[in-house]
A and B are shown apart, each in its own frame.
Chain A
Amino acid sequence: MSSLSLLSLLIWLPILAAFGILALGPGRAGMARLFALASSIVSLLLSIPLWMNFDKSTAAMQFVEKFNWIPTLNINYHLGVDGIAMPLIVLTTFITVLTILSAWKVIQKSVHQFMAAFLMLESMMIGVFCAQDAMLFYIFFEAMLIPMFLIIGIWGGPNRVYATIKFFIYTFFGSVFMLIALIYLYMKGGTFNIAEMAAIPLSLTEQIWLFFAFFLAFAVKIPMFPVHTWLPDAHVEAPTGGSVILAAIMLKIGGYGFLRFSLPITPDASSELGWLVITLSLIAIVYIGLIAMVQKDMKKLIAYSSISHMGFVTLGIFIAFMLIAKGGDTNMALEGAMAQMISHGFISAALFLCVGVLYDRMHTRMIRDYGGVINTMPLFGAFFVFFAMSNAGLPGTSGFVGEFMIILAAFQADFWFAFLAAMTLIFGAAYSLWMVKRVVFGEVKSEAVSQLTDIGKRETFILAVLAIAVLALGLYPEPLIDVMRVSVSHLIELISISKV
């Protein structure tokens, strides 16, 4: 297979499979499941050569494909990956397989549509990470809303319609301003190529307007305080698979957007307005951490914890400018942000899957309905405790790596940033471990809990794979950091030159 078309294959194969599954019709649920699993495994296998053949020594785009799609608007079908996008693509294909496995038994209503929606989602997300043309990026970015809208709305909980419409309107509203910004940039530079857009000279006022347009789109997506309110609703109502994809990958698109658009295109505005983003990030880390502590619903708790962790990502990204000014280790901040994104992808996925396991058996997510789960589900209890620990940033797990790097970088920028950010080590431990204490340990709470059966082979497999990933990344993060190092350095060079 030529490496030339690898990215296209990754994008289009799931779509084709999705249409195939839709054509199977509602009658053949078993076949739809098998077919979807096969397709997602093929995607995962295809992403192995992507990792293997990736050249770590260059920041240039690799596996590039380009042809002119709409010449009158100069929109190109232009794909490529660098060290920042590549790990996220692998994360996407990896998580998708687990998501499909996790929905194996739970989803009984229109299975074929469920599987097709997930495969479409997969290809859109891969497309977002591959797109080197801003309009192509935007199309993938928006197109993924519809499958997610349907996933929450059809297979979600009791309040699903409210949640899904809120999700849709928030993200749609955020991103249309990005559209205007992109068109404006096209007017200035005559190109939709993201790399060329970064080279367009812009005055500070222009940059500030553009910065806010991009900021609105990505801040809603990641999500940042105070536009985060859609996320807890969406998470609570979404089916387990939907929550997993949402937390593990879709939130990362916001962070990726900051790295790909905001920083290189509007470096001066990002530096000028860095204080705003840093403040909001710190509020997210501290305040949302406190909110997470008082949640009664496990999914809501994990959702708030996600927002708090994403605060770390934005903090890491935007202290970069202060570090450049002070001569600090900027690489560490950005690599930390990336490591945090990848690690959170694994941990949040695992936690949502754990809650899914409990919900499938008890049909409640309320913490007060549980207690003493360890007595009836020892294996599951072990996993749950492990993932909760890694969510709290226990050293040796992947959760520690990113947080530690960002806290170290923040120290070089400002002591108080680091101090506030480090608070999360306390809050994170508090809300994660307190939840585990109430759910897993203690007396057997009720008749229902005493009748629970431990996880089966399929569930064990899913959680074990994630646990291995979390441990591996925590003990030896070097391969991951290594892949992105050159691309991150290149990005830093790009943003340290003022455009004004």
Chain B
Amino acid sequence: MFGWSELIPVLPELIILATACTVLILGLFSSSEKGGLLVLTSIIGVVFAAIATAKSHMGAHELVKQVLFNGNFVRDYMGDVLKIAVYFIMLFVFIYSKQYLRNKNIFKGEFYALMLFSLLGIMIMISGYNYITLYIGLELVALTSYALVAFDRDNAQSNESAMKYFILGAIASGMLLYGMSMIYGATGTLQIDEISAAIGQSQNTLLVVFGLVFVLVGVSFKLGAAPFHMWVPDVYQGAPTATTLFISSAPKIAAFGFAIRILAQSLDGVIDQWQQIVAVIAILSIVIGNLFALQQDNIKRLFAYSTISHIGFMLLGFLGGEDGYSASMFYIITYALMSVAGFGMIIVLSCKGFEAEKISDFKGLNQRNGWFAFMMLLIIASMAGFPPLVGFISKLVVLKAVIDQGYYVLAGVAVVFAVIGSFYYLRIIKTMYFDESDNDQEITAGFDVKSILSFNALLQLGLLLFIPSILSYCVKAIGSL
């Protein structure tokens, strides 16, 4: 029962697909000097997709949840909010990465094409309504990410990390599929709402719980949560920064959507079982992420461990019921905005033949350029969750949801490790402000990148004014599931 009218709700996905194909072809004809066209096309595509997504919410009518393509795909409020957040992040990614690729002499059209295909995968992960669709979305993101990580092909580190990512990713996908097949065996269906209904009716959920464990392994791997986090530091460090920038932000939002679809929507019948596992994963991630980050000298690696702890914090929200889901959603969106700014800063400070990836490369940044030191201060303080920056509010909403459910000990542990974590963030601030600079290279980045980055960093403060509306979008999104 396929009708053309079914294509209208998926217009944003179609636009991205078309843009990706256009960029792929354009890339064949454009040299790195004229590469601006590719970036521009990508941006235009994303903007159009954003308009197409937002259009359904204009005017008086509310978006009704639509299940399309025989229950394979869903268009709902949560999906749209997440997608708009992703578009926003992607705009930053496109602009920052151009700078980096030019510096490294690896500016090629394929980079943007891969990125756009990955974006398509992200959108499918967010909107899949069937385990197979979700899996296809996931693999689309994963495959393009492998290629993006290996994009600097003459660099051994880049290749090594891509190989590592690929092998571990393949194992995780296997686990995920195995778990899904068991759930299919227990319920006889792969569609989200039917699984939920089938679990609700059955007396014995043993097989489902068994499958659930494998699914959770797969999900944690994709999120980069401990103890399945081993790939994260190596990939973050080895990948070209333009790729790290991407994989640390937008796919995390997709993984959140993926986790909500699977855990909250389809496996809500065994919520008691998965909450126990998620609690352990969350706390492990917070502990391991913060402790290991203390040791790092490489800022990309440090951010990798900090990501692990942030993911742990986000997963804590999954223990908090509906309030918790919306808190997690708010957390992951704001986190993606910080993360993209953090890696953007590394790109801005790098220049031809030099990559600012050691913490010591930030030495005396305040003397070299007070403005960017201040911007980095905002980003770092937001990541650490210091008030009044937005990172504090997002931690606050998650903690509130968790305490609401009576998990005082978990909240206490999370908070103690947030304090321990503040130390390595402080170390970066210390390096920027208190140490003497040992190089006085000018910041060569273009005006566009500089101003966008400043905007991105100032958002950590400016978002404070919009928190009520963003939070209410998140609450509404979770309520509409």
Seen from chain A, the residues whose Cβ lies within 8 Å of a Cβ on chain B are 22, 25-26, 68-73, 110, 113, 135, 138-143, 145-146, 149-150, 153-154, 160-161, 164-165, 168-169, 172-173, 176-177, 179-180, 183-184, 186-187
Contacts and interface: CB of A to CB of B under 8 A. Distances in A.
B386 A180 contact: no
Contact of A110 (B370, B408, B471, B475): B370
Interface string B400-430: 1001100010011001101100110010011
B415 A176 contact: yes
A11 B295 CA distance: 39
10 contacts: A22-B374, A69-B468, A70-B393, A72-B472, A113-B370, A143-B387, A154-B434, A160-B434, A164-B434, A187-B403
Per DSSP, chain A at the interface is helix
A469 to B, nearest CB: 32
Nearest to A186: B400
A447 to B, nearest CB: 32
B112 interface: no
A336 to B, nearest CB: 33
A169 B426 CA distance: 9
A71 B426 contact: no
B403 A180 contact: yes
Most A CB contacts (10 A, CB to CB) among B387, B400, B403, B468 go to B387
A112 to B, nearest CB: 8
A161 B434 contact: yes
Contacts of A140: 387-388
Given A140-B388, A165-B423, 4 more contacts: A73-B396, A145-B386, A154-B434, A173-B419
A154 B419 contact: no
B381 interface: yes
B467 A70 contact: yes
B366 interface: yes
Interface residues of B, number: 36
Contacts of B472: 71-72
B434 A72 contact: no
A179 B386 CA distance: 12
B433 interface: yes
Contacts of B392: 139, 142
Q: 5 smallest A-B Cβ distances: which pairs?
A: A139-B387, A142-B387, A153-B434, A139-B388, A72-B471
A153 B433 contact: yes
B250 interface: no
A149 B426 contact: yes
Contacts of B367: 110
A172 B415 contact: no
A73 B400 contact: yes
Contacts of A68: 468
B399 interface: yes
Contact of A183 (B400, B423, B426, B468): B400
Contact of A150 (B404, B415, B433): B433
A9 to B, nearest CB: 19
B366 A146 contact: no
A142 B386 contact: yes
A169 B419 contact: yes
A154 B366 contact: yes
Nearest to A23: B371
B397 interface: yes
Contacts of A154: 366, 433-434
